[in-house]
Amino acid sequence: MSKITDKLIFDFIKFHYRPYDTHEEFGRGFSAYQAGNVRNPHEADSISAQAWDRGVEAAMTYKKATAG
């Protein structure tokens, strides 16, 4: 896929997780999944933990959507 297509897919997936996608931990969870680390470092049920988990979910969805 092209970089433009990948960006559109990413934006679409990210929008699905609104408002968590605006939280810094969403991006950290997304990046952690891509690095192979899915262990959530935050206290359960905190906003940070929820944003992290949703970032990981978004990264999983993105990987499936962009798989060649």
3-56 pLDDT, tens digit per residue, is 899 999 999 999 999 999 999 999 999 999 999 998 999 999 999 999 999 999
Distance (Å, rounded) from C-alpha 55 to C-alpha 4? 21
**CB–CB of 9/58 below 8 Å?**
no
pLDDT value at residue 68: 65
Name the residue among 10, 7, 17 with its Cα closest to residue 53.
Answer: 17
The model's pTM: 0.90
6: CB partners within 8 A, 6+ apart: 66
DSSP 3-23: HHHHHHHHHHHHHHTTTGGGS
Q: Band the pLDDT of 2: cuts 50, 70, 90.
A: confident
